[in-house]
Structure 1
């Protein structure tokens, strides 16, 4: 199934690049192919959660020599999540009429890059797939070819190239310290490496992923990009591509460099707290929906840093659960930014309640696991921070709902009302379902956390 999912997405990405994506049959092929790849990931996930991690070495080479592909609970969870987000965003754009011949191919290339990234067990190939997904994102950011989209694409390319350089430096340093690029072997050997060198390597990797997540103080690029792109592209960037940062911090921090992650716990708490408060206060002061959502994205990833700082089974599980819910929240809210109507207003309200952590939306579960993680380390300050952040999230969500959906004269993008609204309503229904039946999501977080702590072992 690893070969099937990777091979299908790569083959379709190449074939679609030769076709005109503005034609409806091409969009249908892209949607059908991506749906098949998503189904393959679901089957792979069932295999992983039933029988344990799946590992293979490309080309029949012996382990440690050939390129390792590995599907464990953490990787397959993020792969299913990210490809699912891209699938919904692509369907959203397809029903409105795709305006660029390259859009379906670029969405497929992003899906292929992210799938490979989450299913590789090799640090250098993580970087290769990383860059493939990022190149597709650069091009998608300019989708629409208007001045604001081109400006956003330029900003996104420059900042993320900086992050890519830092990450490549980190990968090279890991190879220098351990003599291998296999992630499992790195985890085994890095404990014997020189502590100062390992710590500097961890800092370089952390800064690289922080740029991708848009954490404070690396956030300066994010509002300009998220407010400049189309709703479907913003949904892909915030709901799928940003998962590279969350996954990377869990994989490289929790699995490969756990001692360095523990040493940096205080810094994680400080940066996470600053991101939460800064993002929420900036969102409260903004007036347009896209600006509010952009600054909200900065604040929401701060919670993931807090969970990583707590660490251990409870902290890592909370980070996974919150990352999943945050991706779905951003998918729903950014897609709703291009629509109007009572159904969209109701769906947006669900997303707003989820961001604020109000039941019955799934966001309540995300805040709850963070509360439990904070109580596990007996930190009253973290409990208060989560409560204050949720209250501020409720304020800016209510403000933007009042300004946008209580004004019938507000304009929307010209897209197909019925199908697009149903897609948005479907995502809202998924958030309500996850909030009403939280056990599968909690179990998913626990299994993914175990994969981090055990290095992918069953």
Structure 2
């Protein structure tokens, strides 16, 4: 019951709020309340999955294969909970600062519905449907503000991601052609007897589509323009919630549906992740603008997720889940804090900067620790050196950003509600600190999620 309601609440309310004037404070706060209710429902669902294992329901009472199959396991609920939390923080930020366009609250709720359905479906085609619903809302949100930079960012984002969606759809068609099913668990079983070349081609299509969403090198060219050109709230949404589509897709489709292909190209994936990690870090150091540096930092940070995916196994997959969660929280905090000033905000930005660099007690330290643990388990000295170099570079560019934003920059005109905005960023910073000081819930949930991805795990 909760599984269906958690999907229905944001979708139904979003369809109503799109028709209302979102610039009215009451409409904005209603969207915040709906997101908070969705987060609460997902929290209860997460507790149920932790206690009793995965849940599955076919909507409308239809037989499997006809109705929409919703499947909640630990990986799905972790990403759904994370994404709604990011949307809640970004929407609250925008309501406090003053919403500029009437459709913003409704679009965020529709995005929440699309993301929740995407993370909680057990069918590849339904994944694609929710995928497109989420991306359609994202295309419009990228133009939020209506300025030249926003419109340019929206054009680039839409063009590139439509290409990624087309490649994804071709891969979905190929999957059905060679397996005769689109149920994720069945695809994983039947793909083992499919022609290896066909399976590798389909897996490559999915990999490209998800890499475009993440902004991994060499599919990164759109990301700096979009993240730097968007408003702080939209940049937080894109980097902290929408980018989760790519991370989740790689984790869900790789080990579950294409385990043999993932093992075959594991070393190449590690190399590609390493290149993305170093490339993003070096460009972040070289940029003089805070928004651009954060954008290139996003390219480098998702490289860690790809490296962990390539390492594989329980340790590697756990590290990938942990780092995906931590990275989403870090980027949300940093993008929201970059546009405002004040002692509280400076402290919040410092927490985010230390977290990206992997300095305790911030949550980023836990993510980096899991990455180093994966390198030690596989006994790879080059991987440990890479992680050390990446952490050092991230410390350099985050220190540079902090200097530009809070030491040398003149104080801009304050936002409409400065104190509430500062308290909001402080609350997100405290969450990042709490995840570092008390990492056991995150580690336990990530470990359970990784176990569910391994071959032979129960659905």
TM-score relative to the length of structure 2: 0.98
Render the CA deviation track for 1:350-396: whole Å, top value 9, x for unaligned. Answer: 10010000111110110000000011110000001001000000000
Partner of 1:207: 208
Q: How does 1:186-265 map to 2 (within 5 A)?
A: 186-265=187-266
Q: Residue 138 of structure 1 corresponds to which residue in structure 2?
A: 139
* Residue of structure 1 equivalent to 2:424: 423
What is the CA–CA distance in structure 1 between the aligned matches of 2:203 and 2:382, rounded to whole Å? Answer: 27
Question: Structure 2 CA distance, aligned partners of 1:267 and 1:62?
Answer: 41
Pair 134,455 (structure 1): closer, same or farther in 2 beyond 3 Å: farther
CA distance, structure 1, for counterparts of residue 321 and residue 8 of structure 2: 27
Matching of residue 26 in structure 1 with residue 34 in structure 2: no
SS in 2 for 1:324: helix
Aligned-partner Cα distance in 1 for 2:310–2:140: 34
1:450 matched to which residue of 2? 451
Q: How many angstroms apart in 2 are the aligned matches of 1:379 and 1:145?
A: 49
Select between 110-119 and 265-274 the one with higher mean Cα deviation.
265-274
Task: Please state whether the residue corresponding to 2:56 is helix, strand or coil.
Answer: strand
Listed one character per residue, the Cα deviations across residues 291-332 of structure 1 (whole Å, up to 9, x for unaligned) are: 110000000000000000010111110000000000000000
Are 2:75 and 2:450, in contact at CA under 8 Å, matched by a contact in 1?
yes
Q: What is the CA-CA distance between 1:412 and the residue it aligns to?
A: 5.8
State how many pairs are aligned: 458
What is residue 300 of structure 1 aligned with on the other side? Answer: 301
Match of 1:161, SS state, is helix
User: 1:113–1:132: 8 Å Cα contact kept in structure 2?
Assistant: yes
Partner in structure 2 of residue 171 of structure 1: 172
In structure 1, the residue matched to 2:88 is 87
Matched residues in 2 for 1:453 and 1:416: separation? 48
SS at match of 1:2: helix
Q: Which residue of 2 aligns with 1:387?
A: 388
**Partners in 2 of 1:67 and 1:455 — Cα distance?**
24
Going from structure 1 to structure 2, the CA distance change for 1:283 and 1:415 (only over 3 Å counts) comes to farther
- Equivalent residues of 1:355, 1:363 under 8 A apart: yes
Distance 1:412 1:447, change over 3 A: farther
Q: Please list, as runs of the form range in 1=range in 2, the aligned pairs for 1:224-373 lying within 5 A after superposition.
A: 224-373=225-374
Q: Secondary structure at the match of 1:70?
A: strand
**Paired residues of 2:153 and 2:225 also in contact (CA < 8 A):** yes
Q: Which runs of 5+ in 2 are unaligned?
A: none
Q: Is the 8 A contact 1:304 1:323 kept in 2?
A: yes
Shift in Å, 1:63: 3.0
**Partner SS state of residue 69, structure 1:** strand
Q: Secondary structure at the match of 1:22?
A: coil
Tell me, yes or no, if the aligned pair for 1:317 and 1:448 is still in contact at 8 Å.
yes
Contact 2:362 2:437 in 1 (8 A): yes
Contact (CA 8 Å) 1:48, 1:73: kept in 2 or not?
yes
SS in 2 for 1:373: helix
Does the 8 Å CA contact 1:73/1:456 hold for their aligned counterparts? Answer: no
Root-mean-square deviation (CA, aligned residues, Å) is 1.1
Aligned to 1:180: 181
* Residues 71, 239 of structure 1: alpha-carbon distance in 2 compared, 3 angstrom cutoff: same
Give me the whole-angstrom Cα distance separating, in 1, the residues matched to 2:111 and 2:248: 16
**Structure 1 Cα separation of the partners of residues 133 and 414 of structure 2:** 30
Shift of 1:407: 2.8
What SS does the corresponding residue of 2:64 show, helix, strand or coil?
Answer: coil
The runs of at least 4 consecutive aligned structure 1 residues that moved more than 6 Å come to none
Residues in 1 aligned to 2:319 and 2:187: alpha-carbon distance in whole angstroms? 25
Contact 2:4 2:59 survives alignment (8 Å):
no
Q: For residues 443 and 279 of structure 2, what CA distance do their matches in structure 1 show? A: 29
Alpha-carbon distance in structure 2 between the residues aligned to 1:420 and 1:264:
45
* Separation of aligned partners in 1, 2:109 and 2:389: 39
The answer to whether the Cα contact below 8 Å between 1:338 and 1:412 also exists between their aligned partners in 2 is: no
**2-side partners of 1:455 and 1:323: how far apart?**
24
Following the alignment from structure 1 to structure 2, what is the Cα–Cα distance between the partners of residues 211 and 413? Answer: 36
Structure 2 distance, partners of 1:438, 1:30, is: 30
> Offset of 1:230 from its aligned partner?
0.1
CA drift of 1:413 comes to 6.4
Write the deviation string for residues 65-112 of structure 1: whole angstroms up to 9, x where unpaired: 433110000000000000110011000000011010000011011100
Give the aligned partner of residue 50 of structure 2.
49
- Between stretches 233-242 and 342-351, larger displacement belongs to 342-351
Contact 1:354 1:364 in 2 (8 A): yes
Query: In the TM superposition, what whole-angstrom CA distance separates every residue of 1:38-85 from its partner, at most 9, and x where no partner exists?
Result: 110111111111100000112323334433110000000000000110
